[in-house]
A and B are shown apart, each in its own frame.
Chain A
Amino acid sequence: MPLPELQRRALVQIENVHKTYIMGDSEVRALDGVTLDFDEGEFYSILGPSGSGKSTMLNLLGCLDRPTSGLFKMDGHDVSQMDDNQLSDLRLKRIGFIFQSFNLIPQLTVSENIALPLYYLEWDRQRSVERARELADRVGLGNRLGHRPLELSGGQQQRVAIARALANDPRIILADEPTGNLDSATGKQIMSLLSELNGQGKTIIMVTHEDEVAAHSNVRVHMRDGNVERIDRNA
């Protein structure tokens, strides 16, 4: 369940953000003066046609890129001033990623894939294994810890990816078309799992082009031509 209105605070603040790419002689404005706050504990979906700026927005939110101009703050930190190492550190400690193609590491087991971020956080092996087991149980894959990704179904792989996204106990989970490679029944299960995580207090920002999938979120941000067209909130 989302947090009550009075307790909400902006986890991500975006103010007049521009992101411009130079392509030869021409200039592409991927984001054109976006101003938007993402509150803690909410479940956001970002919708829009191709070229609307969804992916650029996700890259910025994931601290994979910096804005060309404007203010971008995450959890009070000014991201636009950070170098690569600081951005990596911020991602590692505060963000969990879920990808359309799951992006699991094929040579590692389920347990090792889930514990991967913990390796970068320099957790010891025993603690990492315990955390991976706990998260695998949470996504219903406690009996598959020793399996490799290719031995799992698409839905199970996405569950592993969700468990991996939770490993570092992030403040925010970014999901890029999380049901894009799944059949509708499995997609629903994954969305239920994300809703459950949101109910447990995780902030989720999901990029999708499917209204049915976006219906699981509380706030739907519609983008067009590099800017926010409208925001729909559940009543």
Chain B
Amino acid sequence: MHAFYLAWQYIRHNRIKSVLLVCGVTLTIVVPAAVFILVRFGEEWLMSRAASTPMVIGAKGSRVDLSLHALYFRSKAPAPIGMAEAAKLREAGLAIPVPLYGRFTARSFPIVGATLDYFDFRDLRVASGHQIAKLGDCVLGARVAQALALGAGDRLLSDSENVLDLSGAYPLNMRVTGVLAEERTEDDFAVFVDLKTAWVIAGLGHGHQDVSKADESVILDRTGNTVVANAALPEYTEITDENIGSFHFHGDPAGFPITALIALPRDEKSAVLLRGRYEQQDAAAQLVIPEDVVGEIMEMVFKAQRIFNYTVVCIAAATVLFLVLIISLSLRLRSTELQTLHKLGCSRHTMITLVGAELILIGGISSLFSAGALVLVLQLAPVLMRTFLA
């Protein structure tokens, strides 16, 4: 019989005590390590996306809200700016504009209205199906597809903004044309549509029954080629090959809303000029450098983490003291057993080896569980980060 065999028999025999010890040690290892991993992962996750997004233009207001919205589709959508801002940027030739409109959700996942430039900018690749081709199409981020068990050919209904608002926009039944490859970024958790589709969801564009063929009960007036119908004229909530021709937009496209405008400066000089323009007092919108904003947020996180670290050290010290107490009480409870071993000829050294073997086994099992838990934390880090930042 080996010391470890005797120790293992003791651990097996005293299951509840052993399980409690393993849980205590595992938690002591896992909690601070998991927090450390998550904070580092979060920093890398937030910073890498921020660093790859040179500039964001949006309505004046919170810099943080604008950055979080443009980068991670988080926070309430900032006040919109007009599409004219994107056109202005393009005309100035200082940067490539990548407009985003992110006001709506589909089964709680954000719907991001974007142009194809966004997919090129983020290097997003369709893993199955195909890219958005028509009005009413959408492509899903990998995690959305996984969570909703949807794929190319399926349908996805946008959420109502407010079910009690009868004048609000109708939900749109979108056609899923593809699923993006997993990027381990916030893009995995978004539903992408064309900007125009997002405007349809917003009620700026719609399709309805041909008024010339509509029932007379919905016609208010016919004057020459002009036909005026009332609100009972059926509107489509799904864009199909048959009705796509009836979809149209009202108003000036330059005034159509976007919630953020990612600007990709042509060069350093263009970037400086662009910043200068938006720093003027009379600028209608603001320009933020996401890296600076996220850096400020991380600074605060690290300050909070420093406090947490001190707390963890204190808790770990208290846990170690508790473990020492438990082990010493356990040895006292086992005094008869240990005295028997001593009387049978077991030297002090052998007894220490036996107790040491038990501690090594408890520590080993706890370390295995801790390693497993930490691997799980690493695997779930994107989801956990998303949950914590929600």
Contact = CB atoms under 8 A, between A and B. Distances in A.
A52 interface: no
A226 interface: no
Interface residues of B, number: 21
Interface centre among A97, A103, A107 (most CB of B within 10 A): A107
Contacts of B12: 107
Interface in A96-128: 97, 99, 101, 103, 105-108, 112, 115-117, 119-120, 125, 128
Interface stretch (A26-34, A86-94, A202-210): A86-94
Interface string A53-64: 000000000101
Contact of B347 (A89, A105, A107, A128): A89
Nearest to B344: A117
B1 A97 contact: no
Contacts of A115: 1
Contacts of B340: 97, 99, 103, 105
Contacts of A84: 347-348
Nearest to A125: B1
Interface string B322-362: 00000000000000110011111111111000000000000
B349 A91 contact: no
B345 A108 contact: no
A97 B344 CA distance: 7
A85 interface: yes
A92 B345 contact: yes
18 contacts: A88-B342, A88-B346, A89-B347, A92-B345, A103-B336, A103-B337, A105-B337, A107-B9, A107-B10, A107-B14, A108-B6, A108-B9, A119-B2, A120-B344, A120-B345, A120-B347, A120-B350, A125-B1
A106 B13 contact: yes
Interface centre among A88, A93, A101, A168 (most CB of B within 10 A): A88
Interface centre among B2, B14, B340, B344 (most CB of A within 10 A): B344
Contacts of B350: 120
A10 B13 CA distance: 44
Given A107-B10, A107-B12, A108-B9, A120 B346 contact: yes
Nearest to B349: A85
Contacts of B336: 101, 103
Contacts of A105: 337, 340
Contacts of A112: 1, 9
A93 B346 CA distance: 11
A120 B336 CA distance: 18
